[in-house]
């Protein structure tokens, strides 16, 4: 679902990554490490390195030891028709020339992968048990507004680093996806529609002790734990007017959500002390805690007059001191800090040489 937002915003606002047929650069022409990939105002980043080179690549997340990343891609040069899960060791990453290890089954559509404690397995969501084919993407609406699907076949699985399925954590009717793991290694947070609405849930690392965390009408998703594991940050589209509530419920009955209006929220890991952090309007999403636990980095198009441009921003937990971090003219999102706080990884449309490719970049972080 997080990755689907790339397609949502791309199709709606800047002519579509998913609808294009991206092409890689010719072999040997990949630009992999240069501060020419940075924009002049990006003072918090240096020594940037491009890791992928074609298709839509997103939700790249560090292993607990910061030596590996797991991510999803639909790169057509890798023989993919829809998103599958891959991993690579950062020191050996050469994805401009070599296809990395695929960890998902190659069937259905996948999303939201994350390393499990010990860095020998990953958790991810997939539709493959419901249907081995890629699920259909909703047709474009007559009113031009974008919706994305809540695939009811999504379940949550665990695979090892050779791509072997080793466990099924959630397997029931309805949407279950967007799982991430606490830095303490004890809990997983995920989004589910089992209550009739899209809410956050936590469970123990083995899939037991499931607890509902959010309870208000609207989509709650894309959650991550704070560095000490005590809090959650997430995005939410919470309809307030009768008209918006009616539209939300009608779409949800059709297995759809409209993600164009979202704000950032935080709460304790048990759901208490729920607080809205941003009130910027438009789409504020893909949040992640700063290593200090006192700030949040996220993607937003609130400053874009037409809603076309997404960049990364940083904000205090109380919503103050908003600071722009990246300055790409099209799209930056899905930021994650390394566990040691020294690196930032994110997805961007920069350096795509006129294609609609969304690639993964890693940079040193400068406070």
39 in a structural domain: no
Residue 280 and residue 299 in contact, taking contact as beta carbons nearer than 8 Å: no
Q: Is residue 361 part of a domain?
A: no
- What residues make up the domain containing 93? 2-30+65-322
In a domain, 338, yes or no: no
Q: 311 in the Ramachandran plot: left (φ > 0), alpha (ψ -120 to 50) or beta?
A: beta
DSSP helix/strand/coil, 111:
strand
Give pLDDT, residue 252.
95
**Among candidates 43, 10, 28, which has minimal Cα distance to 347?**
10
| Alpha-carbon torsion, ordered 364, 91, 205, 179, to 10 deg | 60
- Residue 36 counted as domain residue: no
For residue 26, pLDDT beyond 60: no
Closest CA to 255 of 175, 178, 176, 150: 150
Which of helix, strand or coil describes residue 249? Answer: helix
pLDDT tens, position by position, 94-111: 999 999 999 999 999 999
Query: Comparing 15 with 76, which gets the higher pLDDT?
Result: 76
Q: From CA 132, how far away is CA 175, in angstroms rounded?
A: 17
7-16, 19-28, 65-74, 293-302: lowest mean pLDDT where?
A: 19-28
Identify the sign of the CA torsion 107, 87, 148, 211: positive
Q: What is the mean pLDDT of residues 276-301?
A: 97
Q: Would you say residue 178 lies in a domain? A: yes
Span 224-248, average pLDDT: 97
User: For all residues of the chain together, what is the average pLDDT?
Assistant: 91
DSSP bridge partners of 346? 361
Residues 6+ apart with CB under 8 A from 146: 8, 9, 11, 12, 140, 258, 259, 260
If one counts the domains in the chain, the total is 1
Question: d(Cα 4, Cα 72) in Å, to the nearest integer?
Answer: 11
- Who has greater pLDDT, 13 or 147? 147
Find tokens 């164009």 and name the residue. Answer: 260
Asked whether residue 276 is assigned to any structural domain, the reply reads yes
Neighbour tally for 334: CB within 10 Å: 27
Residue with tokens 């709650």: 220
Other Cβ atoms closer than 10 A to 260? 16
Size (the chain), residues: 367
- 331 burial via Cβ count (<10 Å: 0-12, 13-18, 19+): buried
Q: 231-237 and 256-257: which strand pairing?
A: unpaired
Question: Is residue 133 situated within a structural domain?
Answer: yes
How far is 188 from 336, CA to CA, in rounded Å?
Answer: 17
pLDDT mean over 140-163: 91
pLDDT tens per residue across span 60-80? 999 999 999 999 999 999 999
Structural Rg of the chain based on CA atoms: 19
Q: Residue 2: its pLDDT value, please?
A: 46
For residue 155, is pLDDT > 60? yes
DSSP 115-144: EPTTSSEEEEEE-TTT-SSPPPPPPPPTT-
Q: Is residue 48 part of a domain?
A: no
CATH of the domain at 104: 2.120.10.30
Separation between Cα atoms, residue 296 and residue 30, nearest integer Å: 32
CA 208 to chain centre: 24
Q: What is the pLDDT of residue 260?
A: 86
pLDDT at 206: 97
- Per-residue pLDDT for 355 more than 60? yes
Report pLDDT for 33: 60
Contact assessment for residue 110 and residue 198, using Cβ atoms and an 8 Å cutoff:
no
């Amino acid at each position: 679902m997080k990755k689907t937002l790339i397609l949502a915003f791309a199709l709606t606002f800047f002519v579509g990554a998913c609808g294009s047929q991206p092409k890689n650069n010719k072999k040997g022409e990949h630009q992999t490490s240069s501060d020419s990939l940075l924009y002049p105002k990006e003072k918090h980043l240096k020594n940037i390195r491009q890791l992928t080179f074609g298709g839509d690549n997103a939700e790249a997340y560090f292993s607990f030891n910061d030596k590996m990343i797991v991510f999803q891609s639909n790169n057509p040069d890798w023989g993919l028709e829809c998103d599958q899960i891959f991993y690579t060791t950062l020191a050996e990453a050469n994805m401009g020339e070599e296809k990395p290890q695929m960890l998902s089954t190659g069937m259905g559509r996948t999303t939201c992968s994350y390393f499990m404690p010990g860095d020998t397995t990953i958790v991810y969501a997939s539709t493959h048990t419901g249907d081995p084919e890629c699920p259909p993407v909703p047709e474009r609406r007559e009113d031009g507004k974008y919706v994305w699907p809540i695939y009811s076949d999504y379940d949550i699985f665990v695979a090892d680093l050779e791509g072997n399925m080793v466990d099924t954590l959630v397997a029931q009717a309805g949407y279950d996806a967007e799982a991430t793991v606490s830095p303490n290694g004890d809990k997983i947070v995920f989004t589910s529609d089992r209550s009739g609405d899209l809410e956050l849930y936590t469970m123990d690392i083995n899939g037991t002790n499931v607890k509902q965390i959010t309870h208000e009408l609207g989509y709650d998703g894309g959650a991550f734990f704070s560095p000490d594991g005590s809090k959650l940050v997430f995005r939410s589209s919470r309809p307030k007017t009768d008209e918006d509530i009616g539209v939300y419920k009608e779409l949800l009955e059709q297995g759809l959500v409209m993600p164009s209006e979202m704000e950032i929220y935080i709460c304790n890991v048990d759901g208490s002390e729920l607080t809205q952090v941003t009130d910027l309007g438009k789409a504020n999403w893909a949040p992640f805690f700063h290593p200090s636990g006192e700030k949040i980095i996220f993607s937003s198009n609130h400053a874009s007059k037409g809603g076309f441009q997404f960049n990364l921003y940083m904000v205090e937990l109380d919503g103050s001191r908003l600071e722009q971090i990246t300055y790409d003219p099209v799209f930056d999102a899905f930021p994650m800090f390394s566990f040691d706080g020294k690196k930032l990884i994110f997805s961007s449309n920069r350096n795509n040489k006129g294609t609609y490719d969304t690639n993964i970049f890693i940079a040193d972080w400068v406070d």
